[in-house]
Structure 1
């Protein structure tokens, strides 16, 4: 039985975005009919903005929609990894050429009225490395690997 203690170590916003950039998918959280809804999503980070493709109705992203995007990579065996959350206003990508580009480059789950592309302008970004503290050495072992680096 392991006696290692699990730890969360906060990272800078820049490092959190770097982690987010290295993974293709996450979950989008938005409000629909006054209830929080979570949908799987694919994303790309471009010029400090998150472009997200998700199976959600366009109507959910009205004039002043604020959404939260979350991605993580955590080993259930070791407890090591990272977790990043970005929150900010979202706007539907309505330009047909731009939308066609992202539909070609981002994997989607459904097509038709619930295949939505949005641009999130993150106003807050929080990130954590998850690791363990070895009981004998007192040395922290956070999840230092960026997604796809192994």
Structure 2
């Protein structure tokens, strides 16, 4: 019986590789992921590699947070460069700042849980330190 959630290519992957002896996560992550996706879509929970699936799901969340951090740091670096070096905003710089703002806003819109994370003091401090490194500022001179 065909499952409406399983595509023809996924069914082909299942038949070629065989989920019973499916690819190993450590040796072929791409084939492993295809087989796991097929097993999920066909609701074959007994075929799932639960531990590695859980790690992959967490990695997605970590990657999203890391991306948001990079975007905020890039925005802060652009603004800090202008402020620290008294650079008059020029059209290319303004476009860059606008683009960074837009990307941060899009990231926060697609991942609402990041709104809380983006304003935690430890996260903000970490982003500020990265920003200072980017612009070459190492603190007040003694």
TM-score, normalising length: structure 1: 0.19
**Structure number having the greater strand percentage:** 1
**Structure number having the greater helix percentage:** 2
TM-score, normalising length: structure 2: 0.19
